[in-house]
Structure 1
Amino acid sequence: MTLSCGADTAALRAQAVRLRRASTVLDALRLRLDAVVEEVPWTGPDADAFRSGWAGPTASGLRALRAELLALGDRGLEEAREQDIASERDRAGTGASAGAGTLPGESRTSSIPEAVPAPSGNGYLHDDATAIPNLLEDPAEALLSSAARIASDGIGWGAETGLDALESRLDLAGIRSDGIGQFQRDADHLGSILEDWATGERTPTYAELGAAGLVVSGSAGVGVYEAATGEDTPFLDDRPGGIVDRVESRESSSRGPQDLQDLIAQNDSLRLRRGEQEARDAGQIGILEIRDASGADPTYIVQIPPTEGAPIASVPDAYGGQGNSRDWGSNLRLIAGQHPAAMDDVRAAMEAAGIPPGSKVLLVGHSQGGIVATHLAADPRFNSGSGRPGTYDVTHTFSVGSPVQTVVPAQSSTQSVNVHHESGIGVTGFRGDLIAATDLEGAQPGGTRLGAPGLQEVSLDPYPVTGVDPVPVLAANHDSMGPGHDPGGGYSGSLARGTAGDPVLSALQEDLTGLYLGEGTSVSRSLVVTVGRGAP
C-alpha cells in the first residue's frame, strides 16, 4: 500500500499571506527610516558616512529581505495550488469519497459543483494586472502599499492620541467616557478595513463597509450621549459572550435527521418563543453527536437559531441591552466583519458539550444563525484541520435566509451553502426575502464580487406574497417554517419541494448523507446549551 502525505494547504496559504504582508510592512519601515535618516539635523563627515552606510548595504539588505519574503509568499501560494491539484488527482484515482475515513484537515472530495464566481477582488497585492508586466507591477504595488500604510499609521496615531486625550479630560472632569472607548474600538475596526483596502491586502464588500460605517456612527452617538448626560446606555454595547447557563440533554430516538428539511426543522425547534423575557435573557445552541455503523469517530451538528429577543424597534434592548447575544446589534457587527458575542456563544457551547478539537462539524443556521456559522467557518482560529485546542474541522455550513456573501471559509475544503428566496421590488411591491439580500450579493468596489469555489448561493422561487408592506412578505419568505410551525411553509417547505431538482442542494444532501444524516447514522447525544452574555 502506498501512503501519500501532503501539506495543510489552508495553513500554507495563511502563512504565505503572512509572508507577503511582512514584506510590505518591512518595506514601509525602510521607507520611514529613509525619511528619518535624511531629516536628522546632523552634519559633518560622520553624518555623511552614516547616511552613506544606510543608503548602501543596510537599505539594500532590507530591500533584498523584502524581495525574499515576497518570493517565499508567492512560492507558498503556488505550492498550495499545486498540492490541491495533486490531491484531487490522487483521490480521483483511488475513488476516495467525502465523509467518513478522512483525517482532520485532509482535503475532501465533494459532489457539490464548484461555484463559478464573478471576478473577485482580493486586493491589488494579490490580484494580477495582466496588462502590466510583473517586473513593473510588483515594485509599483509595493511602493503604493507602503505609502498607504505610512499614511494610515499616521492618521490612526493622530486619531488615537486625540481620543485618548479626550477620554482623559472627560475622566478628570467626572464625565462618563465609556462610550468614547466603544467608539474608539469600532473606529479602529473600520480603520483596519480601510487600511487593508488602501494597502492592497484585500478588497472589502460594500455591505461590510456600510455596516461598519453604521456601527461607528452609532457608537459616536453613544459617546456624545453618555458624555452629555452622564448616563450609561447599553446601546451597541457588545459585551463578551460565552457565559454558559446550563447544558441539558434531550431525549431523542437513535434516528437522526434524514434530509435538509429536517435540519431546518431542528433549528426552528430551538427558538425561544415561550416568553419574551426568556428569549431576551439568553439563547440556545443545539448540538447533535452523530455516529455511523462503522464505529468511526463521531461527527457533530451545531444548530444556531436566528435573531431573538427584543423586537427591532426596541432601543436599546435589541441593540446590546439584552442578555441574548443574538440581537439586532449583532447583525450589524457581523456584516461589518466584527467578532461579536454571538460567536463567543457558539464556541462556548461547543466546549461545554465536550466536542473534541479537530472533530468534523456541520454548522446549521437560519438568518443571523447562518451569519454566525459562516463567520466562524471563515476564522482560521476556529475552522482548522490542525486539531489544536479550540479548532474544529468544519466540513460544511448550511444556512437559509442569511446574508453571508461577505466572507469566505478559512479551509478550501469547507463547503458553504446558503439558500434564499429570490427578492426584488416590482410594480406590486416587495417580493421574496429582503433580509437575505442585505449582503448585496458580495458586491465590491471596482465592480468585482466576493466569491470562492466552495461558497454557494442557491436562489429558490419566492412565495407568491407581494405588497408595499414588507412584513407579510418577510413572514412568508424569511421564516424557517410556515404559520403554526407548518413544515410545508417557509424555507422548510421550499427545501422539501426544491432539493431534488437543484444541483447544489441535491449534491449537498448527498455530501451530508452517511456523515451527518440519513440511513446508517444515529444520534448518540442530543444537547441544548443555554448561553449568553452578562448584564450591561
Structure 2
Amino acid sequence: MSTVTHGMDTAAGLAAADDLTGGAAQIDALAARLDAALADFDWWGPDAERVRSEWSFTQRPHLELVAEHLSELALRLRAEADEQDRASGGTGEGGAGPTAPGAATQRGLLDRIGSWIGDRLQAGGVALGRFLGAATDLQGKIVDVLTGQRDWSVSAIAASALGTLGTALGVGANLGTGVDQRWLASGRGAAGDPVAVPTSDTGLSHRPALEQPRSLDTIMQSVTDAYANGTAEGSNGEVRIVRVDNGAGPPAYIVNVPGTETWTPSAGSMPRDLSANLHLMAGNPTAAAESVRAAMERAGIPADSPVLLVGHSQGGMITGHLATDPAFRERFNVTNMVTYGAPIDHLDVRGVDVLQMGHALDPVPRTDLEGLGTSPTPTSRHVDLPSPGAWNDVLTNHSHEAYIRSVHDALASDTPLGAELRAYQASGSMAPFLVGPGGAATAVDVPVERLPD
C-alpha cells in the first residue's frame, strides 16, 4: 500500500520567502540606524571606544550574519517552490496524489525553517521595542536639558545612552538565539510574605539574628544580614525591615536595602542587578525600587511612623530614588536616610536628614560624577571615610562589611570624623531608630523579586 503525501504549497512558500527578504532588509536598516546613532552621539573616552568596538567587531557582524541567513533561506524557498511547480505541472499547489520521494521531508524542513525564523523574528521584535523605548528616553532627556525643561545630570544622560546601546546589543542577542534574553529590561517589582527574624542565634534558623540598633554601625549590620539572606538557594534577594519600639510615640522602622546581587545584563528574577543600576542612574522606574516599596507595604509600616532608609551601593540609589518620589513620601513618613558606597549626589532629597558616606578611594559613589550637570542639592552630610584598601583595591574599598568596620572605628575615635558621625547619631531625627532604655527591636525579612513586563 502506497503512502500519500503532499508537496509544498508554493504560494505560501513564495509569501514566506518575501517575508524573509523583508526581514533581512529590516535588520540591515536597523544596523545602519545603530551605526548612525553611535557615530553621531557625543561620547568619548575609553568606555565609548570599547562600546563602539564591541558593536563594530562583534554585534554588527552578528546582525549581518542573521540577515544573510534569512536571505539564503528566502532563495532556498523560492527554488523549492519553482521545483514543486514543475513537479506538479505548474498548478502552484501541492499535489493531492502520491508525490516524489522526499516530499514529506521537504514539508518537515519547511516547517522547521518557519519555526526557526518565527522564533527569531518574534524575539528580535521584542528587543527592538525595548531599544526604541530606550532611544526615546535618551532623546527626551537631551531635549529636556537643551530646552531647560529639566536639569538632568551628566551621569543620568550617560546611563541612558549606555542603556540604549545595551538594548541595541540585546536585539542581536535575541535574533541569534530566538529567545528573549531580556537585556536591560525593567519588569515589575514584587515582594513576598515577611519572615520573622530571630533575636538571638539559636542555631534553629539560617537567618542572621537581629543586631539591636544602638549605633550607626549596628544599624548598617542589618544590610549585611540582608545580603547574606539573598545568597540562600532560591532567593532573589531580601529586604530587612526593623521595628523599633521605645515606648513613646509610634514605632519607628528601619528599611535595609542591599546593593547589586547579580551582574548579568539579562534582567532575571533578581531585581537588584546590572539593569537596575543603569535604570536608577538614568532616573527611570525600576523593579528594584518597586520591590522595596512592596516589601514596606507587606511589612505593614503605618503612614505616621518615622522611617529610616539605609542602603549600600545600589541599595543607596534605590532609597534615594524612593525618597525623591512624591507618591512614596506621601505614603511613608521618611525622616532619615543613610547611604554608603552609593552614588546619590545627583538626587535632590529635600526634607530628609541624609548621611551619605563613602570611602575616599571607593570609586562607586563617584560614578554619578558627583552630580555634575545638576544644581547643588541640600544633602545634610557628606562624609569621607578612611579607605581600608589600596587605591586599586576596589572590592575592599567598596565592601559593605568594610564600611561597617570603618564607621565602628570612627565612632570610637577622638577625631573630627568621629565627632561628625556621633553628632548625626545623636541628632533628634535619629532618636526613634536607636533602641533606648526599656526599648526593643524586632525585624522581618521580606523576599523580593522581578516579574516580567
Partners of 2:353 and 2:307 lie apart in 1 by: 11
Find the partner of 2:148 among 187, 197, 200: 200
Runs of 5+ in structure 1 lacking a partner?
Answer: 1-169, 313-317, 385-390, 423-431
User: In structure 2, which of residues 276, 288, 306 is the aligned counterpart of residue 330 of structure 1?
Assistant: 276
Q: Would you say the 8 A contact 1:238–1:320 is kept in 2?
A: no
Task: Render the CA deviation track for 1:238-293: whole Å, top value 9, x for unaligned.
Answer: 21111x23310113279841111111112111113785754xx4111011111223
Per the TM alignment, residue 451 of structure 1 is displaced from its structure 2 partner at its CA by 2.5
Match of residue 415 from structure 1: 353
Which residue matches 1:38? none
Shift of 1:231: 3.0
* Residue matched to 1:245: 192
SS in 2 for 1:319: coil
| Secondary structure of the structure 1 residue equivalent to 2:144 | helix
Alignment of 1:392 onto 2:332: yes
SS in 2 for 1:189: helix
- Gaps of at least 5 residues in structure 2 are 1-116, 201-209
Identity of paired residues, percent?
28
Match of 1:343 among 289, 295, 313: 289
Number of aligned positions between the proteins: 326
> Aligned to 1:266, what secondary structure does the other structure show?
helix
Q: CA deviation at 1:367?
A: 0.8
RMSD (Å) for aligned C-alpha atoms: 2.9
**Alignment CA distance shift 1:332-1:458 (3 Å):** same
Matched AA of 1:265: Q
Q: Report the Cα distance in structure 1 between the residues aligned to 2:177 and 2:430, rounded to whole angstroms.
A: 58
Correspondence for 2:246: 292
Q: 1:476 — aligned with what? A: 396
CA displacement at 1:520 relative to structure 2:
4.0
Distance 1:307 1:499, change over 3 A: farther
Aligned residue number for residue 3 of structure 2: none
Q: Is the contact made by 1:477 and 1:491 (CA closer than 8 Å) also made in structure 2?
A: no
Q: Is the 8 A contact 1:413 1:454 kept in 2?
A: no
User: Which among 257, 260, 267 is matched to residue 216 of structure 2?
Assistant: 260
Cα contact 1:287–1:528 (8 A) shared by 2: yes
Q: Secondary structure at the residue paired with 1:337?
A: coil
Kept after mapping to 1: 8 A contact 2:230/2:237: no
Q: Which residue of the partner structure matches residue 74 of structure 2?
A: none
1:322 Cα deviation after fit: 3.1
Could you tell me how far 1:189 is from its partner in structure 2?
2.3
Q: Which one of 401, 406, 410 corresponds to residue 346 of structure 2?
A: 406
Equivalent AA in structure 1 for residue 247 of structure 2? A
The 5 Å alignment of 1:490-501 reads 492-494=408-410, 497=413, 501=417
In structure 2, the CA distance between the partners of 1:274 and 1:407, relative to structure 1 (3 Å rule), is closer
1:478 Cα deviation (Å)?
A: 1.0
The 8 Å contact of residues 333 and 339 in structure 1, kept in 2 or not, is answered as yes
Please state if 1:453 is matched with 2:378: yes
Q: Residue 328 of structure 1: CA displacement?
A: 1.9
Residue by residue, what CA displacement relative to the aligned partner does 1:440-484 show, whole Å, maximum 9, x if unpaired?
Answer: 11111xxxx542223532112222524xxx3xx1232111214xx
Pairing of 1:42-191 with structure 2 (within 5 A): 175-176=122-123, 177-191=125-139
Is 2:290 the partner of 1:356? no
* Matched ranges for 1:5-16 at <5 A: none
**Cα-to-partner distance string for 1:369-399 (whole Å, 9 max, x where unaligned):** 1110111001111123xxxxxx111111101
Which residue of the partner structure matches residue 45 of structure 2? none
Q: 1:504 to 1:380 in 2, by over 3 A?
A: farther
Deviation at 1:504?
A: 4.5
Matched, 1:366 2:283: no
Contact 1:417/1:455 (<8 A) preserved:
yes
Post-superposition CA distance 1:384-432 (Å, at most 9, x none): 3xxxxxx1111111011111112112xx32122210011xxxxxxxxx1
Q: CA deviation at 1:207?
A: 1.0
Residue number among 435, 450, 453 corresponding to 2:364 in the alignment? 435
In structure 2, C-alpha distance between the alignment counterparts of 1:201 and 1:344, rounded to whole Å: 26
Return the alpha-carbon distance in structure 1 between the equivalents of residues 229 and 294 of structure 2: 23
| Amino acid aligned to 1:287 | I
- Partner secondary structure for residue 434 of structure 2: coil
Secondary structure at the aligned position of 1:323 is classed as: coil
Contact kept in structure 2, 1:358 and 1:393, CA below 8 Å: yes
Determine which structure has the larger helix proportion and give its number.
2
CA contact (8 A) 1:374 1:416 kept: no
C-alpha distance in structure 1 between counterparts of 2:394 and 2:127, whole Å: 34
Mapping of 1:13-28 within 5 angstroms? Answer: none
Higher alpha-carbon Rg: 2
